[in-house]
Structures are given as C-alpha cells and as structure tokens.
DNA sequence: CCTGCAAAG
DNA sequence: CTTTTCAGG
C-alpha cells in the first residue's frame, strides 16, 4: 500500500461539503489530505465533517486578517508528531496560508500561495506573493536541514510553471500566475532541491487543476495547472504515481496528489538524511515538455 | 370585468423573477400591480421583466439611501395620467417607499411602510414608522381633498390591525408589527375616511400575507396579515372582492388584492367626490372578529 | 432563513 | 461566476 497525499483547494469547505466533499474524502484513499481556502473557522465547520471518522487527526489554520478568508488544513489518518503553523513572519502568518505536519517518514506542508492579482490584471499583490514564495522555501529548507526528514509541499501555488501547464500561455504572459518573475522565482526555489512530482512523472501530460468559474470554461478545459506536489529530491525516487483528479467537482480547483513508497525509509528511521539520488542532482533532467 | 389591483412585497424582484414572478404576472388578472421591496434599480431589472408586454406602463422608485434596499413600483395596463413619487419629506423619500399613480377612475398608491424593528425586538425604528404612517395618510388625505378622486392605498403596511390578523397575538404584543402604538396610529389614520378592504369584505376570514423565512413557519401557517388594501370610503361600495393569494410562492409575502366595479364612476367622471356611503360612515361596523 | 452587497478569488 | 461576510428584513 502506497502512502497517498492529496491536496485540494476547496474554495470554501462549507460550500464543498454541500457538493459532496465527504463522499470524496471517504473514497480518495489518502493517508494525508492537504486543504486550502477552507474559509471557515474550526468552530463553524459542518458537523458531518467534524464528526467524520476516517481522518481522525485534523489541524485547521484560520486567517486572522479577515473572516472567511484563506485558511488551510491537514487531515491525517495517523497522528502527526509535530505541527508548525507559523512561518515566523506576521505578515504571512496573519493570512492563514501555511501548515506543516511531521509524520514518521516525512513532513507534509499544506500551503496556499497568494494570488498576485486583485481584479483582472492589476497584479498588485505579486511582490507579496514572490516574498511569500521565497519565505516558504527558505523556511522549509531550514526545517529540512535541521530535521533531515524529507518534505512534501502540497497546495495551491498559484503559478503554472511552464507553457504546457495552461491552456492559453500566449495570452497570459502578463497575467498573475504565469508572469515571468513568478515562474523564475518558483524555478529558483525549486532548484534548491525540490521536484515538481507531477511533471517529473508525467513529462508530457496535459491536465489542469484550476478553471475560472466564469463562462463555461471548465467544460472547454481552458485551465491552469497551479496546484502542485513539490517533493524534496530524496523523496522523488519514492514517488510511484502523481495524479490530477480533474473529474472531481465541488470547487473551481481539482484535487491532485502523489503515491509514495515509503517502505525503506519507514523501516529505517534512524538512518538519517538520504544522499540525493541521481535524479535529484539534476533537476533539469526531470523532463519538461516543450524543451 | 372588474378592475383588479394586486399588491405584492416581492422581497427582491430579481429573486422573485427567478422563482416565477413573470408567470404569476401574466396570470394574476390585474389592471394595476403594486410592488414593494423591489430592491433593484430600473437599470438592473431582469430583461424578461423589462420587455414584458402585458403591463406596458411601469414606474419604479429606488431608495437613494442604500443600494439594494426597499423600492416600490406600479405596473399598469393603461397609462397613468400622473405619477407622484415624493411625499415632500426627504427623510421618507430617500428610502423609496412611496409611489402614487392617478388613473381615470381612481388613484393607486404602492407603499412600503418601514419595519419598526431591527434585529429581533429592538423596535428602534418604531418612531420613524409611526411618523411615516401619519405622513402618508396626511399626504393622501390632502391629495384626495384637492383632486376629489378616490384612492386605493396598497402595500406592505407592516402592521397586523387586530388579533385575528396574526397567528400568535399573545406572544407578539411587544413585537413591532403588533405594538399597541402601531395599531392605534394605523386605526386613527384609517378612521379619517379609509377602510381595510379585506377585513370589510371578509370579517371572519383568517388568512395571512407574511410568514418568517426562518424555520418551517409558512408550512405551519404561523403568519401575519400585514399587507393591505386600504380604500377611501367612496370606493368601499365598489369593492366586489378582496383576496389573499396565500398559495403563491416566490417571496416571504403573499400577494393580495381587490376587485373593483368602476362602471358608474368611470362613466360619470364629472360627478365629483361621492358622499360617504352608510358603511363608510361607520367604520366600526366593518366587522372585526373577536369583538 | 433569505435578499442583495462587497471584497476576494 | 462563486465564495464568503454584512446589513437588513
């Protein structure tokens, strides 16, 4: 049995529950579920969700800046050894965008990266988004050096890394989510020892994780791949599958995830940080379509 | 063919249109339709409503104080000779609660009386509501003296006149809508030459025009009769029927109305104000259940 | 509970 | 377009 981690920007957990979130949760086969944009305080969660038994361990992070805004969560079948809900920077922490949980074999982060644009293409929040991105990777790299345990960062990154990752790359070079500076910042951060698990395992596959609510754009599959599973290089050889469940409804995002084979690391926890694999040493070799 | 006037607090005309308002409008058999709480500027009306052909003449009054608040309208099959949308008092006019239209045979007002209570039973707006009530009747009495033409005032009056007019009179003597001062003010105004057409024609009948949205109160018929057709005494003998269509859905209020026989007044417009009829001279005789 | 608004996505 | 919150009813 692989260890499955799934991420989903639910765009309001209460709305998503009304559209069948609990059935999805029961059937998703995950060991850990990362959620973003829950837009709900724990006290206001639907009782059916709070009393749900399959994921006994749930951790919710709420935005302090504004009610009903942002918020992330991690649900797991086994109890986490440790939870971190602060990036050590109030301007980021107040928006409820980050949660890290440590398990036996690895650490899992649920992260909701800022959107960058307000209305249309004013792109006023791009600087904040870039600073957040740098900060998250700095933070996780530090955690990783200190703990020596692999990390999987899953969440809504709000960046399509390459032209293959959105239906209309040409028309969106000035749209936040596909700006050169956003792609460069993300590539630089990933270059410090991370892999985009989906693209590594599916070099040519065209699937999206987000579609605008407006018009009938999802039916025409005019979307973006902006929800990601980024894994530290030591974890990449253990990724057996990476998937986007773009048929799942309930949000303007689709869930995506990875299956990990943790047999060896799980049985040898005392072994310490693994040396980077060959694939991990050459992130450029992880296969990008269009090159 | 009687002349039918119908009133309906639609609680948002756009919402009501989504729930079948146009089918109702086509079938209601009215010559004049008075609406309250349209909560929509004319420019934002659904196109299906704006292009509707049955009621060619429509007049919309919008609240200036707040977008999406209050607002009344009058729709008619024949063009009004004159329209009045000001009570001559800015504190009332700004809330878009009054519209008067003059037709050949009579004048019709669509009026949305203030609610009196904010949340629950703070009753903070009761003084404003009483002042509005006095002002509307003063205004219409003046119009009537000047023009000598009968008036029908239809709308959401937000007062249940007598215990028979609400399901829970005992428990609501401190609730706005059934406060002694509200009932007294209304009775005093009506006493100056007006009749509650529904109660005059249906002395014993128990029907309501409003039910709270909360709980399943409408199914249990725990309601209030607060939408009324008040007619000047010269008009009362011409009222053939008064009805509440409490089966009609689409709002938390039900439509109600009156059928008038205008043959005589219509054929003899030069006759001037009619002398009050016997019934009009004794409003106490109009039959109140529970006395 | 339901409407329409505003901010955000 | 859709989710929240909010005021108002």
Residue B240 lies in a domain: yes
Does position B118 have pLDDT exceeding 90, yes or no?
no
So what's the pLDDT on residue B122?
A: 83
**Within B 15-44, residues with CB less than 7 Å from strand C:** 15, 19, 39-40, 44
User: What nucleotides of chain C have any atom within 7 angstroms of a protein Cβ?
Assistant: 1-6, 8-9
Q: If you measure CA to C1', which residue is closest to nucleotide D2?
A: A213
Block residue for tokens 């773009």: A246
So what's the pLDDT on residue A263?
A: 86
Residue A291 lies in a domain: no
Domain total for chain A?
A: 1
A227 touches strand C (CB under 7 A): no
Residue B258 lies in a domain: yes
So what's the pLDDT on residue B263?
A: 87
Distance A171 CA to C7 C1' (A): 26
Listed in sequence order, the residues at least 6 apart from A166 whose beta carbon sits closer than 8 Å to its beta carbon are A160, A172, A177, A178, A208, A223, A224, A225
Does position A45 have pLDDT exceeding 90, yes or no?
yes
Residue A288 lies in a domain: no
* Band of residue A19 on the pLDDT scale cut at 50, 70, 90: very high
What's the average model confidence in pLDDT over A219-248? 98
Q: What integer best gives the mean pLDDT of chain A?
A: 92
pLDDT in tens, B171-209: 999 999 999 999 999 999 999 999 999 999 999 999 999
* Residue B22 DSSP one-character state: H
User: What nucleotides of chain D have any atom within 7 angstroms of a protein Cβ?
Assistant: 1-6, 8-9
Residue B50 lies in a domain: yes
Record the tokens describing residue A11, joined without a space. 């765009």
Nucleotide nearest to B9 (CA to C1'): D9
DSSP H helical ranges for B86-147: 90-93, 126-147
So what's the pLDDT on residue B264?
A: 63
Active-site residue set of A: 156
Q: Which of B31, B141, B156, B227 is catalytic?
A: B156
B214 touches strand C (CB under 7 A): yes
The residue segments making up the domain with residue A106 are 3-281
Does position B287 have pLDDT exceeding 90, yes or no?
no
pLDDT in tens, A83-136: 999 999 999 999 999 999 999 999 999 999 999 987 666 899 999 999 999 999
**Within A 22-51, residues with CB less than 7 Å from strand C:** 37
| Cβ atoms A22, A244 nearer than 8 A | no
So what's the pLDDT on residue B268?
A: 47
Does position A283 have pLDDT exceeding 90, yes or no?
no
Residue A21 lies in a domain: yes
Listed in sequence order, the residues at least 6 apart from B228 whose beta carbon sits closer than 8 Å to its beta carbon are B7, B153, B154, B155, B157, B161, B196, B197, B198, B256
DSSP codes, A162-217 = SGGGBS-TGGGTTSTTS-HHHHHHHHHHHTTTEEEHHHHH-TT----SEE-SSTTT
Residue A83 lies in a domain: yes
Does position A208 have pLDDT exceeding 60, yes or no?
yes
Q: Which helix (H) or strand (E) holds B35?
A: strand B32-36
Q: What is the CATH classification number for the domain harbouring B81?
A: 3.60.10.10
Block residue for tokens 């002694």: B180
| B267-270: long-range pairs with CB below 8 Å, 24+ | B269/B104, B269/B105
pLDDT in tens, B38-95: 999 999 999 999 999 999 999 999 999 999 999 999 999 999 999 999 999 999 999 9
Residue B265 lies in a domain: yes
């Amino acid at each position: 049995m692989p260890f499955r981690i799934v991420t989903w920007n639910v765009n309001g957990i209460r709305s998503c529950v009304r559209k069948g979130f609990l059935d999805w949760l029961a059937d998703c086969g995950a060991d850990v579920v990362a959620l973003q944009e829950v837009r709900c305080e724990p006290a206001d969660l639907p009782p059916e969700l709070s009393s749900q038994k399959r994921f006994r361990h749930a951790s919710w992070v709420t935005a302090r800046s504004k009610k009903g805004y942002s918020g992330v969560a991690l649900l797991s079948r086994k109890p986490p050894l440790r939870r971190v809900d602060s990036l050590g920077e109030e301007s980021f922490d107040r928006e409820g965008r980050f949660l890290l949980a440590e398990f036996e074999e690895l650490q899992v982060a649920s992260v909701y990266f800022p959107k960058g644009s307000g209305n249309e293409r004013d792109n006023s929040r791009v600087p904040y988004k870039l600073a957040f991105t740098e900060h998250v990777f700095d933070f996780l790299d530090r955690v990783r050096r200190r703990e020596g345990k692999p990390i999987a960062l899953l969440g809504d990154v709000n960046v399509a890394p390459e032209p293959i990752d959105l239906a209309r790359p040409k028309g969106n070079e000035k749209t936040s989510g596909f700006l050169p500076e956003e792609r460069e910042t993300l590539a630089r951060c990933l270059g410090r020892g991370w892999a985009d698990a989906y693209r590594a395992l599916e070099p040519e596959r065209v699937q999206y994780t987000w579609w605008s609510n407006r018009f009938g754009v999802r039916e025409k599959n005019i979307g973006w791949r902006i929800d990601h599973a980024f894994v530290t290089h030591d974890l990449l050889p253990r990724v057996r599958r990476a998937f986007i469940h773009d048929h799942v409804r309930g949000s303007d995002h689709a869930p995506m995830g990875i299956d990990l084979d943790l047999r060896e690391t799980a049985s040898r926890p005392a072994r310490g940080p693994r040396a980077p694999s060959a694939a991990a040493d050459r992130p450029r070799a992880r296969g990008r379509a269009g090159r």
